Amino acid sequence: MFRIRIVTPAVMSDAGHPHAGGEFTLGTERLLFLADLRYWGVGDYQRQWQTALQRLAYGAPATALFTAYRGPREESHVACRLCVPPP
């Protein structure tokens, strides 16, 4: 089973930044994450995930599912990398 989704409402962090809890499930593995909502809303993440998964469906060997986009000038973002094993 595969699933990536936002599971909590948006709240403010101690630093004053909005975020929401998310869940990434692949098989029996489950990863919880915080989606940074300063620059992207939940819909932006969902569109990026859909586009990234479409790349795999159309034959790309790898893709990335962003879980924390921190703006155009931030040095680091957070993403889950998915790779298709070679045949």
pLDDT in tens, 28-80: 999 999 999 999 999 999 999 999 999 989 999 999 999 999 888 877 888 88
Amino acid found at 78: V
Record the pTM: 0.86
Assigned CATH topology for domain 2-83: Secreted effector protein pipB2 fold (3.30.2450)
- The DSSP bridge partners found for residue 62 are 83
Q: Mapping DSSP to helix (H, G, I), strand (E, B) and coil, where does residue 53 land? A: helix
- The DSSP bridge partners found for residue 11 are 19
Dihedral sign, Cα of residue 61, residue 66, residue 72, residue 76: negative
Of the candidates 46, 20, 45, 18, the one whose C-alpha atom is nearest the C-alpha of residue 34 is 20
